[in-house]
Amino acid sequence: MQIILALIFGAAIGLAAEFAVPGRESRGTALAPALGTVVAAATWLIATWTGLTVTDPLIWIVTVAVPVVVVAPALMVLRRVRAAHDASERQRLRIG
Protein backbone atom coordinates (compact mmCIF):
# COMPACT_ATOMS: atom_id res chain seq x y z
CA MET A 1 0.00 0.00 0.00
CA GLN A 2 2.90 2.38 0.54
CA ILE A 3 3.67 2.32 -3.17
CA ILE A 4 0.37 4.13 -3.76
CA LEU A 5 1.60 6.96 -1.56
CA ALA A 6 4.85 7.03 -3.55
CA LEU A 7 2.87 7.21 -6.80
CA ILE A 8 0.77 10.08 -5.43
CA PHE A 9 3.98 11.93 -4.50
CA GLY A 10 5.30 11.36 -8.03
CA ALA A 11 2.08 12.66 -9.61
CA ALA A 12 2.13 15.73 -7.34
CA ILE A 13 5.74 16.45 -8.28
CA GLY A 14 4.82 16.09 -11.95
CA LEU A 15 1.87 18.43 -11.52
CA ALA A 16 4.11 21.00 -9.87
CA ALA A 17 6.61 20.65 -12.72
CA GLU A 18 3.75 21.13 -15.22
CA PHE A 19 3.22 24.65 -13.89
CA ALA A 20 6.89 25.43 -13.18
CA VAL A 21 8.38 24.51 -16.56
CA PRO A 22 7.52 26.85 -19.46
CA GLY A 23 5.97 25.53 -22.65
CA ARG A 24 2.72 24.10 -21.32
CA GLU A 25 0.98 24.87 -24.60
CA SER A 26 3.18 22.34 -26.42
CA ARG A 27 2.38 19.31 -24.26
CA GLY A 28 -0.66 17.61 -22.82
CA THR A 29 -1.84 18.40 -19.32
CA ALA A 30 -1.50 14.81 -18.14
CA LEU A 31 2.03 14.29 -19.44
CA ALA A 32 3.97 15.73 -16.50
CA PRO A 33 1.94 14.03 -13.73
CA ALA A 34 2.09 10.74 -15.64
CA LEU A 35 5.84 11.11 -16.09
CA GLY A 36 6.26 11.87 -12.39
CA THR A 37 4.21 8.80 -11.50
CA VAL A 38 6.22 6.53 -13.79
CA VAL A 39 9.54 7.85 -12.49
CA ALA A 40 8.41 7.42 -8.88
CA ALA A 41 7.21 3.87 -9.60
CA ALA A 42 10.49 2.93 -11.27
CA THR A 43 12.45 4.48 -8.41
CA TRP A 44 10.38 2.58 -5.84
CA LEU A 45 10.88 -0.66 -7.76
CA ILE A 46 14.64 -0.21 -8.01
CA ALA A 47 14.85 0.80 -4.34
CA THR A 48 12.99 -2.31 -3.22
CA TRP A 49 15.19 -4.48 -5.45
CA THR A 50 18.23 -3.05 -3.70
CA GLY A 51 16.83 -4.15 -0.36
CA LEU A 52 15.26 -0.98 1.01
CA THR A 53 12.04 -1.47 2.96
CA VAL A 54 9.14 0.88 3.70
CA THR A 55 10.46 1.40 7.22
CA ASP A 56 13.72 2.76 5.86
CA PRO A 57 13.51 6.56 5.39
CA LEU A 58 15.96 6.40 2.48
CA ILE A 59 13.36 4.79 0.20
CA TRP A 60 11.06 7.78 0.74
CA ILE A 61 13.82 10.32 0.24
CA VAL A 62 14.94 8.66 -3.00
CA THR A 63 11.38 8.17 -4.27
CA VAL A 64 10.65 11.88 -3.85
CA ALA A 65 14.08 13.21 -4.93
CA VAL A 66 14.43 11.31 -8.21
CA PRO A 67 11.19 12.64 -9.78
CA VAL A 68 12.15 16.16 -8.67
CA VAL A 69 15.48 15.79 -10.48
CA VAL A 70 14.17 13.96 -13.57
CA VAL A 71 10.74 15.37 -14.49
CA ALA A 72 11.56 19.07 -15.04
CA PRO A 73 14.59 18.44 -17.29
CA ALA A 74 12.63 15.79 -19.21
CA LEU A 75 9.86 18.30 -19.85
CA MET A 76 12.40 20.84 -21.08
CA VAL A 77 13.91 18.31 -23.47
CA LEU A 78 10.46 17.28 -24.70
CA ARG A 79 9.60 20.93 -25.33
CA ARG A 80 12.72 21.42 -27.45
CA VAL A 81 12.13 18.19 -29.38
CA ARG A 82 8.51 19.16 -30.00
CA ALA A 83 9.48 22.64 -31.19
CA ALA A 84 12.11 21.24 -33.56
CA HIS A 85 9.67 18.67 -34.93
CA ASP A 86 6.96 21.28 -35.41
CA ALA A 87 9.40 23.59 -37.22
CA SER A 88 10.51 20.82 -39.57
CA GLU A 89 6.89 19.88 -40.26
CA ARG A 90 5.98 23.49 -41.03
CA GLN A 91 8.92 23.69 -43.41
CA ARG A 92 8.04 20.36 -45.03
CA LEU A 93 4.42 21.44 -45.50
CA ARG A 94 5.46 24.96 -46.55
CA ILE A 95 3.26 26.71 -44.03
CA GLY A 96 4.17 29.68 -41.87
Signed CA dihedral, 45, 48, 54, 59: sign only? negative
Average pLDDT over residues 58-87: 95
Contacts of residues 84-93 at CB distance under 8 Å and 24 or more positions apart, as own/partner, are 86/26
Q: What is the pLDDT of residues 24-69, one digit of tens each?
A: 888 888 999 999 999 999 999 999 999 999 999 999 999 999 999 9
Residues near 64 by Cβ (< 8 Å), separated by ≥ 6? 9, 13, 40
Q: Could you tell me the pTM of the whole model?
A: 0.88
Tell me which amino acid residue 94 is: R
